[in-house]
Every structure is written in C-alpha cells, then in structure tokens.
Amino acid sequence: MDEYEGFREFVRARLARLSRVAYLLTGDHTQAEDLLQSALVKVAARWRRVAAAGDPEAYVKKIIYHEHISVWRRRRLVEWPMERVPDRRSAHDESGSVLLRMVLEQALAKLTRRQRAVIVLRYFEDLSEAAAADVLGCSVGTVKSQTNHALKRLRVLAPELADLRWERTEVGS
C-alpha cells in the first residue's frame, strides 16, 4: 500500500482553491506556489494521520496561514509596491470586476501579513472570528482588532472599495 494513498487525489481535487488562498495571502504567484508547496510537503509527511483526523483541507489551510505569518516573522522584507498588479485572469471578465479585483489586490498587498490573513480568512474563507482565531493561533480580540485595522487601512488605500460588500466576496475566483 502506497504511503501517500489518497494524498495525490486530495491535491488534485483541492489544488485550485488552496492556490487561490495562498495567492490572496501573498499577492504574488511565485510566492503563493512556494507557500503552498511548503504546506503540502509538511502534509505529505503526515498524510495518514491528517486524513484520519477527517478534515485535511482545513489542516492544509492552517499550515498555509501559519507558514505565511512565520515567514514574515523570520525575515522582514521590504516590499516594493508595484504601480499595477498584473491581471492573469481570463480575458472574458467584465472590465468592472477586473478593475475591482486589481484595486483590491493592490490594496491587500499593502496590508501587513496578519491583516491580509485575517481579511482572507474572514471574507474569502467566510470563517467566523473564532474560527479565524483558531487558524491563526491568536485570540478572537486580535482577529477583531486586526480586521478593524485592515478594513480602515483598505478604505484609506483604496477609497473606491468603500461600496464593496465585505460580507462575502468572490475576489480570488
């Protein structure tokens, strides 16, 4: 019996969604690939236990979020903002939604890693404050304050997002 039985199938089934989460966190395709690869390597080493626990996708996402934040803690890189985030989505998108996505991606890139993680967890993943706190390994109060700070910062960085409904967005779709 293959020790990775089921792992390859899991990755094939969930790769697109996990890639979107990693991209939303990093704002860069290469960094997102590295982040996701790192998380999947860790999961592969423990696949049987992870699969037996019952929710491997949640486990992978938790690793992705922790890796993303720990990279920031290990080395604080200076980010050089780009004038324009390249749009690599299909050409058949409506121009308004493409522009909105570009503005949102640029604004997200200017948030701290923790703020970006909270926004992705709360509004892309649609997690509760308690669930987001559990994933990030922090208190609910920290999630609330980081969300508040992130939304305030987004309003300053991109006032055109003020009309965006933050209940649930399809940003990375």
Nearest in space to 57 (alpha carbons), one of 2, 113, 5, 17 = 17
The DSSP symbol for 28 reads S
Instruction: Specify if 8 maps to a domain.
Output: yes
The Cα–Cα gap between 161 and 173 comes to: 18
Residue 99 and residue 163 share a domain? yes
Q: In the structure, what pLDDT confidence band is assigned to residue 14 with cuts at 50, 70 and 90?
A: very high
Query: Using one digit for the tens of pLDDT, what is the confidence trace for 76-127?
Result: 544 556 667 655 554 454 566 667 777 778 888 888 889 999 998 998 888 8
Enumerate residues 6+ apart whose C-beta is below 8 A from 100: 160, 161, 164
Residue 170 and residue 97 share a domain? yes
Enumerate residues 6+ apart whose C-beta is below 8 A from 64: 18, 21, 22, 25, 35, 36, 39
How many domains does the structure of the chain reveal? 2
Note whether 61 and 135 are within 8 A (CB).
yes
Enumerate residues 6+ apart whose C-beta is below 8 A from 27: 85, 105, 108, 109, 116
User: Would the pLDDT of 164 be above 80?
Assistant: no
Residues of the domain holding 153: 89-173
Residue 160 and residue 102 share a domain? yes
Note whether 44 and 4 are within 8 A (CB).
yes
Side-chain half-sphere of 165: how many Cα atoms within 13 Å? 5
Residue 112 and residue 72 share a domain? no
Q: In the structure, what pLDDT confidence band is assigned to residue 171 with cuts at 50, 70 and 90?
A: very low
Query: Using one digit for the tens of pLDDT, what is the confidence trace for 34-51?
Result: 999 999 999 998 898 888
Out of 51, 77, 103, a domain closes at: 77
Side-chain half-sphere of 15: how many Cα atoms within 13 Å? 8
Note whether 27 and 70 are within 8 A (CB).
no
